[in-house]
A and B are shown apart, each in its own frame.
Chain A
Amino acid sequence: MATQNVRRTEVQTSTRKILGVGGRKPTDASLLTPYLFMAPYLVLFGVFILVPGFYGIWISLHNWDYLLPGKPWVGLQNYVDLFTPGSVTFEPFWQSMDATGKFTLYSVPLLVVVPLLVALVLNQEFRGRNFFRTVYFAPYVLGVAVIGILWRYLLDANVGLVNYYLGQLGLPDNIPWTNELPWAWVALVGPTVWWTLGFNTVIYLAGLQDIDPALYDAAKVDGANRWRRFLHVTLPGLRPILLFVITVTILLSANVFGQPYIITNGDPGDETRSAIMYIAEEGLKNFNMGSAAAMSYVLALFLAVISVANFALFRYRGD
């Protein structure tokens, strides 16, 4: 043992020398090594993250019609248009922002509360909890395209299972889920909850298992019932997890694209066309890339403000 320790110290000292920490000058090769390791990733990072990060701003300052040879500089006009009632982009953009806002407003509370309840049930001691966790998480590994076509079928007004079983229960069996309001919102939010519930549940479960069991025992000794223990031990213990879940769920909801694209196609009118759906259409289908780029920065700014507010709110309530 003792010899080993001695040897390790010797090794450490000599390594420091080789690494250049201890005074010996590193060779050229070792100086280059880290950059060679970084190089392949940095090429990707530079070309597809760093450059486009700035290139996007540049595009947004032009009337950038991909199909036309000239791409005249327009300064901030694309941004000004977004805030000028009556401009070409004003109405559809804010309509799509409104749709995204509604989707977020309807889906986030469900995706924060329901998975928490499921996680609390799963966190008890009983046989088969891993089985249930596995099943609930399963839809999340499927892509939005799969869940989209599946739910569009299930929600088909004439031949869908949802209307059929509603009818069996004596409820209306002809609800136009995918193309009338308010049903279209249910057709977007319901499948989204079904799809992503397992993801938030898994995160909550990890958080619940990090709470010190001694806290529960202490609360019990103090005579706290289940509800009080939940309120005074579980919730405070989950605070960082809650902040994470709420923030991530808001961001993911605000990014919604596939569900309205496949399930409602933005119907009725453009009532359920999300911001990303409009931006992608405007930029990559109609090739008005300048204004689409401007819209993406405005949306990003919105999300940044919401995230910061979210963090501030949680910190405030903690103090």
Chain B
Amino acid sequence: MEDTVSVEPKASRRDPAQLVRLILSYGVLILLTAVFVAPLLWMLSTSFKTQVEATQLPPTWIPEHFTTGAYSKIFSTGKSQTPVLRWFLNSMIAASAHTALVLVTASMAAYALARINFIGRKLLFAVIVTTLFIPQFVFLMPNYLIVDMFGWLDTLLAVIVPGAAGAFGVFFLRQFFLSMPQELEEAALVDGANRFQIFLRIILPLSKAPLATLAVLSFLTNWNDFLWPVYVLFSPESLTLPPGLSSMQEAYQTDYQIIMAGGVVASIPVLLVYIFAQKYVIRGASRSGLKG
């Protein structure tokens, strides 16, 4: 814990005031933990209840009539207005394809901007960075028309491609590439390697951490995206999970166990990513204010 600022000398640990403060801190922290965890546990618990139990008071935190009925309902393969399994696949395909597209295009552009001297580089970078400051909603109407022109409305391409044009990835990777020593590619150039070989064999393998951060952020952002898919996807079978969940509210009204089961399905992949790639998520978050 060298990174804390209020480093107290060891002896003062036994100071009673210090102890009281510590206990108070723990009290607050544990209370807050309950506030953050309880709603998520409630969602999980409800998804294993019957409709009666999901809407009964007093609430039961552990289902008395444990059932996976809600999941059978939303995973049923017959024709449905709420094909959750299909939405799950759509979200998986969209978020993965979007992430791959961002990684490839942003890393290539960032490499050129960071490490090759060429005419127009400064101007190009200035234009790209400037667009980071333009709020996304300004692009809603024109991009809707452009996506329509390509015939992408109501297809996954509409939620995969346009979002990859954002400048954040280029900006983020360029910062990292700039920090790498120049000698790396100078030696390789002398050995006769071309720029593309250098990029693939030297630069990318040394950039695993920033690439992972960008990948995780892109995946989460795309998986959770709501406004854009609500309007560009409309057939039940072409939705991703977020607009799908929203449509479940209308379809099931007070069948909360079914709606919560949908919520659980949408949460599990991102919570898994969070648990296993936590350092990338948090590192990314503390540098990604611009992305929101």
Residues in A lying within 8 Å of B, measured CB to CB: 8, 11-12, 14-15, 18-21, 29-31, 33-35, 37-38, 40-42, 44-45, 47-53, 55-56, 59, 64, 66, 118, 121-126, 129, 132-146, 148-154, 156, 158-159, 161, 164, 194, 198-199, 202-203, 206, 208-209, 211, 213, 216, 244, 248, 251-252, 255, 257-258, 261-262, 276, 279-280, 283-285, 289, 292-293, 296-297, 299-300, 303
The residue in B5, B113, B136, B262 that gathers the most chain A C-beta atoms within 10 A of its C-beta is B5
| Chain A interface, DSSP helix/strand/loop, else mixed | helix
Whether the pair B266, A143 counts as a contact (CB closer than 8 A) is: yes
Contacts of A151 in B (CB 8 A): 39
Residues in B lying within 8 Å of A, measured CB to CB: 1, 3-8, 22, 25-26, 28-29, 32-33, 35-37, 39-40, 42-43, 46, 54-59, 101, 104-106, 108-109, 111-113, 116-118, 121, 124, 127-128, 131, 134-146, 161-162, 164-167, 170, 183, 186-187, 189-190, 194-196, 199, 220, 223-227, 230-231, 241-243, 245-246, 248-249, 254, 256, 259-260, 262-263, 266-267, 270-271, 273-274, 278, 281-282, 285-286, 289, 292
Whether the pair A153, B260 counts as a contact (CB closer than 8 A) is: yes
- A–B Cβ pairs within 8 angstroms, 30 of them: A19-B117, A40-B105, A41-B105, A44-B105, A44-B165, A48-B146, A48-B165, A51-B142, A51-B146, A126-B22, A126-B26, A137-B281, A139-B39, A141-B220, A141-B271, A142-B267, A143-B224, A143-B241, A149-B248, A150-B40, A154-B39, A156-B256, A159-B56, A203-B285, A248-B289, A255-B292, A283-B141, A289-B144, A296-B138, A300-B138
Whether the pair A300, B134 counts as a contact (CB closer than 8 A) is: yes
Residue of B nearest to A248 (CB): B289
Residue of B nearest to A130 (CB): B278
Shortest C-beta distance, A266 to chain B (Å), equals: 14
Whether the pair B138, A145 counts as a contact (CB closer than 8 A) is: no
Contacts of B187 in A (CB 8 A): 11
Whether the pair B223, A47 counts as a contact (CB closer than 8 A) is: no
In the A-B complex, the 6 residue pairs with the smallest Cβ-Cβ separation, listed nearest first, are A143-B224, A52-B142, A41-B109, A145-B242, A37-B112, A48-B165
Whether the pair B141, A59 counts as a contact (CB closer than 8 A) is: yes
Contact of B145 among A66, A118, A297 (CB under 8 A): A66
Contacts of A30 in B (CB 8 A): 195
Whether the pair B137, A159 counts as a contact (CB closer than 8 A) is: no
Whether the pair B112, A38 counts as a contact (CB closer than 8 A) is: yes
| Chain B interface, DSSP helix/strand/loop, else mixed | helix
Whether the pair A292, B141 counts as a contact (CB closer than 8 A) is: yes
Whether the pair A296, B141 counts as a contact (CB closer than 8 A) is: yes
Shortest C-beta distance, B239 to chain A (Å), equals: 11
Whether the pair B242, A53 counts as a contact (CB closer than 8 A) is: no
Contacts of A285 in B (CB 8 A): 231
The residue in A11, A40, A138, A151 that gathers the most chain B C-beta atoms within 10 A of its C-beta is A138
Residue of B nearest to A8 (CB): B183
Whether the pair B140, A296 counts as a contact (CB closer than 8 A) is: yes
Contact of A53 among B32, B112, B131, B137 (CB under 8 A): B131
Contacts of B104 in A (CB 8 A): 40
Shortest C-beta distance, B225 to chain A (Å), equals: 7
Known A45-B128, A135-B36, A153-B46: A276·B227 in contact at CB below 8 Å: yes
Per the bound structure, the CA–CA distance linking A30 and B193 in Å amounts to: 12
Contact of A52 among B56, B124, B139, B281 (CB under 8 A): B139
Whether the pair A161, B4 counts as a contact (CB closer than 8 A) is: no
Contacts of B43 in A (CB 8 A): 150, 153
